[in-house]
């Protein structure tokens, strides 16, 4: 690893920010990560396990993790649970397994918070491994403002810091992106979809067993709304209800109403989730909004670049938001390595290479909602139900 003179700030210590920091450090850049929240490792120590969602990590994401550091990839992915297909649950409780591929191809369930914690730990490991601080993690450090000059000046907590360039990984509501819009003629689009989500959970069985098959992504498709569940390492499942805002705000605004709704729409899921959990979730859990963000270009000269949700937030139905963010890191690092004409050319090429692919995946993500909530009910499955009813 050749040491570099240029210093980098990564804004946001989420999944993509951590991988970007690790990748840049491996290339010899000293990196400072500005994260507005506290260290999630302390939250877990104080409060025990915290609510999280789980994500499907696919080959796209795994390839990027391995590109940054193969041994690190195996460490952070230690607890993944492969899902070789989806399991469709109909109203009568029948289940149909639909395999993703002929050869056991799989996507993999992983806890988002746990993955973030492991990546933060890796940011500290790299300092130990290299015997110097290559990644300086600064928590409670919000990007408040930035100024472009010979160097990039970051203002955080009233202090100024200077860097040669910055990488904005601060998520869908990115402050880096909105500050950059003053410097770049950036096309920008933000669009909410009429779907809200509520997180639920399915506990492990009385003997610590999985209550449904762990190696499937479970879907209860009901056309206008659906329920999904992905397995966790502790044999519970994280489950998510998706439905139109009108339905959730008018008909599922209390736990009691949600319970009646689950009795009629998801009776088999209700049995394993439990009445109390449904009531408590719909009485207490926040309702999540889903939106798409896209912008173009993703960079400003050789001074700033946006990666992950900051550049392209997508709806979660294709399971590719984080995976694409990880891929952004791999492609950026490759271009920085290959570019003989400097960082500015690498950033320009990055925007050129990424924009059509990212637009396409945003559309695929939106289209896959129809697939998951509706089209997964195969004609064969419907026919079998008719035959069973004879
Ligand atoms: P974030 O995870 O949003 O991290 C941004 C970080 O920046 C945060 O830590 C935040 O605190 C920090 N920050 C924000 N503003 C500032 C500031 N001003 N200064 C400093 N720090 C700041 N993706 C998949 O690949 N597979 C899936 O199966 C999948 N399922 C999903 C299911 C749901 C219900 C949802 C909502 C999303 C899902 N996603 C999935 C998408 C995935 O969660 C995101 O794409 C991913 O988390 C993006 O990572 P990020 O690091 O770019 O942004």
Q: What pLDDT, on a 0 to 100 scale, did the predictor assign at position 341?
A: 80
Between the CA of 232 and the centroid of ligand 1 the distance, in Å, is 19
Ligand 1: atom nearest CA of 172 is 3
- Whether the CB of 197 sits within 6 Å of ligand 1: yes
DSSP alpha helices (H): ranges in 79-195? 112-130, 175-180
Is the pLDDT score of 277 beyond 60? yes
Q: Which residue owns the Cα nearest ligand 1 atom 18?
A: 143
DSSP annotation of 250: I
Between the CA of 15 and the centroid of ligand 1 the distance, in Å, is 7
234-255: per-residue pLDDT in tens? 999 999 999 999 999 999 999 9
Between the CA of 171 and the centroid of ligand 1 the distance, in Å, is 5
Indicate yes or no: pTM above 0.80: yes
Exposure string over 124-148, b if 16+ CB within 10 A, otherwise e? ebbeeeeeeebbebebebebeebeb
**Residue 378 — very low, low, confident or very high, per pLDDT cuts 50/70/90?**
low
Q: What pLDDT, on a 0 to 100 scale, did the predictor assign at position 340?
A: 78
* Best of 9, 10, 15 for a ligand 1 pocket test (most atoms within 8 Å of beta carbon): 15
- Whether the CB of 32 sits within 6 Å of ligand 1: no
> Of 19, 50, 51, 45, which Cα lies nearest the Cα of 33?
19
Q: What pLDDT, on a 0 to 100 scale, did the predictor assign at position 4?
A: 81
> Of 287, 291, 288, 293, which Cα lies nearest the Cα of 307?
293
- Whether the CB of 88 sits within 6 Å of ligand 1: no
Which fold does the domain 8-82+110-190+293-370 belong to in CATH? FAD/NAD(P)-binding domain (3.50.50)
For 133, phi then psi, to 5°, come to -80, 105
Q: What pLDDT, on a 0 to 100 scale, did the predictor assign at position 122?
A: 98
d(CA 78, CA 118): 10
Q: Which residue owns the Cα nearest ligand 1 atom 2?
A: 14
- Whether the CB of 327 sits within 6 Å of ligand 1: no
d(CA 310, CA 11): 10
DSSP annotation of 138: E
Q: Is 241 exposed, middle or buried (0-12, 13-18, 19+ CB in 10 A)?
A: buried
Domain ranges, ordered by start, for the chain: 8-82+110-190+293-370, 192-289+373-384
pLDDT averaged over every residue in the chain: 93
Contact 240/200 with Cβ under 8 angstroms?
Answer: yes
304-360: per-residue pLDDT in tens? 999 999 999 999 999 999 999 999 999 999 999 998 789 999 999 999 999 999 999
- Whether the CB of 54 sits within 6 Å of ligand 1: no
DSSP annotation of 305: E
70-91: per-residue pLDDT in tens? 999 999 999 999 999 999 999 9
């Amino acid at each position: 690893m050749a040491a570099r003179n240029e210093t980098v700030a990564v804004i946001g210590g989420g999944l993509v920010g951590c991988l970007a920091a690790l990748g840049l450090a491996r290339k010899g850049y000293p990196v400072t990560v500005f994260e507005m929240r506290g260290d999630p490792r302390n939250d877990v120590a104080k409060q025990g396990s915290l609510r999280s969602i789980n994500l499907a990590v696919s080959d796209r994401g795994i390839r990027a993790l391995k590109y940054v550091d193969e041994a690190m990839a195996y460490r952070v992915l230690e607890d993944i649970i492969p899902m070789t297909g989806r399991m469709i649950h109909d109203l009568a409780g029948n289940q149909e397994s639909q395999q993703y591929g002929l050869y056991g191809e799989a996507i993999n369930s992983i806890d988002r918070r746990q993955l973030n914690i492991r990546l933060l730990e890796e940011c500290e490991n790299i300092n130990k491994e290299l015997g110097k601080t290559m990644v300086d993690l600064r928590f409670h450090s919000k990007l408040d403002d930035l100024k472009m000059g010979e160097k990039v000046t970051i203002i955080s907590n009233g202090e100024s810091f200077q860097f040669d360039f910055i990488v904005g990984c601060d998520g869908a509501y990115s402050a880096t992106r909105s500050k950059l819009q003053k410097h770049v003629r950036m096309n920008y689009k933000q669009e909410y979809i009429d779907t809200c989500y509520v997180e639920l959970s399915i506990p492990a069985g009385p003997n610590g067993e999985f209550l449904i098959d762990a190696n499937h992504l479970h879907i209860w498709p009901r056309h206008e709304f659906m329920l999904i569940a992905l397995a966790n390492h502790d044999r519970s499942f994280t489950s998510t209800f998706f439905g139109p805002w009108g339905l959730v705000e008018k008909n599922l605004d209390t736990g009691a109403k949600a319970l009646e709704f689950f009795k009629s729409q998801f009776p088999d899921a209700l049995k394993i989730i439990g009445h109390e959990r449904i009531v408590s979730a719909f009485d207490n859990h926040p309702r999540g909004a889903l939106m798409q963000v896209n912008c173009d270009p993703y960079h400003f000269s050789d001074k700033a670049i946006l990666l992950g949700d900051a550049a392209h937030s997508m709806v979660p139905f294709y399971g590719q938001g984080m995976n694409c963010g990880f891929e952004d890191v791999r492609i950026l690092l490759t271009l920085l390595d290959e570019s003989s004409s400097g960082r500015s050319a690498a950033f320009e090429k990055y925007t050129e290479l990424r924009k059509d692919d990212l637009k396409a995946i945003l559309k695929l993500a939106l289209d896959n909602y129809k697939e998951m909530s509706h089209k997964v009910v195969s004609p064969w499955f419907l026919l079998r139900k008719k035959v069973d009813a004879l």
